[in-house]
Amino acid sequence: MADKESSVEDVAPVEKKSKNMLMIIIIVVLILIILVGAVVSILLMGGNDEVASSPAPRVQVKSISNERRNSSISDMGESRKLSQIGVLYPLDTFTVNLKSDSGRRYLKVTMSLELEGAELSLELDSKAPVIRDRVIRILTSKSLEEISSKKGKQKISDQIMDTLNAMISDGQIKGIYFTEFVIQ
């Protein structure tokens, strides 16, 4: 009988110690979670105060001469002043597949045509479906390598301009301006 009492007494302190240890671990973990939460909230909330209270960085702006300021906005290398640009005729956005082995590249282009005179816009309106067809045919015949460089874009611009000028009679297109050119 003495053996039974000693074994019960040995189990009770071990069980009590493990419960105390488990409580201590739970308390420590909770304290750590609270501390991490406090640090994160201070960093997120406090970061805005530091930015707002710090002085704005100084930016040095260089003056641009009038000649350079009035120079062309054309990405294709033509150097023309803004006042020399004629009437612009915007075309709808073109989204086409590029010529490639995998067939997974596409091009999204929005462009405007620079017209010689405003009367040409009436002819372009009447021939809009034909113009879209010609532009789509030109764009789909190009590969990524052909259109990704500045020279490639200029070549496309020239090709579209030559093709469209051949089909119109009331004037001519003097330039093409890409307002959106996205390759994916």
Quickly list DSSP for 71-133: S---TTS----GGG--EEEEPPPEEEEPP-SS---EEEEEEEEEESSTTHHHHHHHTHHHHHH
Q: Is the pTM of this model over 0.75?
A: no
Q: Which two tokens stand for residue 63?
A: 């003056």
The gap from C-alpha 181 to its chain's centroid, in whole angstroms, comes to 11
The whole-number pLDDT of residue 166 equals: 93
Angle value at C-alpha 110, between 129 and 143, nearest 5 degrees:
90
pLDDT at 76 over 80: no
The residue with greater pLDDT, 62 or 19, is 19
The whole-number pLDDT of residue 85 equals: 82
Average pLDDT over residues 28-50: 77
Residue 141 — φ and ψ, nearest 5°?
A: -85, 0
